[in-house]
């Protein structure tokens, strides 16, 4: 029993060490705040929806309305990316993008 617990503890620690969230990416205009995958419906994936979600902090002030398109990788077809189109109003300090 002790060896089994040691093995399970080691596996959990190894998984935690490997499954870290990606480091935020910074550019002149944006800082990645977080990214996630939202799953609604059947937890085994037989029915329901999946949606990518990203949030960025703006590093420079927005002075005009921006028309933004964010492309997301499509796991079902890499040649047909998912996307989100939206407007960012002047004065905005963050951008939230969700896939179709």
State the CB neighbour count (10 A cutoff) for residue 51. 15
Q: What DSSP string describes 18-51?
A: H-PPPPP-B-SSEEEEEEEEEEEE-TTSSSEEEE
Q: What is the mean pLDDT of residues 48-64?
A: 87
pTM listed for this prediction: 0.61
> Does 37 fall in a domain?
yes
Burial class of residue 95 (count of CB atoms within 10 Å of its CB; 0-12, 13-18, 19+): buried
Residue range of the domain that includes 55:
24-98
> Does 29 fall in a domain?
yes
> Does 32 fall in a domain?
yes
Proportion of the chain above pLDDT 70, given as a percent: 73
CB 59 within 8 A of CB 28: yes
Q: What is the per-residue pLDDT for 39? A: 77
Name the most confidently modeled range: 17-26, 37-46, 70-79, 89-98: 89-98
3-12, 23-32, 81-90: least confidently modelled range: 3-12
Q: What is the per-residue pLDDT for 93? A: 92
31: its two tokens: 């800082």
Give the number of domains in the chain.
1
Q: What is the mean pLDDT of residues 63-81?
A: 88
Going by C-alpha positions, the residue among 58, 61, 41 that lies closest to residue 97 is: 58
> Does 86 fall in a domain?
yes
What is the chain's mean pLDDT, rounded? 76
> Does 79 fall in a domain?
yes
> Does 68 fall in a domain?
yes
Q: What is the pLDDT of residues 9-44, one digit of tens each?
A: 444 444 444 445 557 788 888 898 888 888 777 766
> Does 80 fall in a domain?
yes
81: its two tokens: 């990316």
> Does 14 fall in a domain?
no
């Amino acid at each position: 029993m002790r060896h089994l617990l040691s093995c399970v503890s080691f596996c959990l620690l190894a998984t935690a060490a490997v499954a870290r969230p990606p480091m935020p990416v910074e550019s002149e205009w944006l800082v990645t705040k977080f990214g996630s995958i939202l799953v609604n419906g059947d937890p085994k994936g037989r029915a329901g929806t999946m949606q990518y979600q990203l949030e960025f902090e703006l590093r420079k002030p927005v002075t005009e309305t921006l028309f933004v398109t964010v492309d997301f990788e499509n796991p079902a077809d890499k040649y047909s990316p998912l996307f989100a189109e939206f407007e960012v109003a002047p004065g905005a300090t963050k951008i939230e993008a969700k896939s179709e």
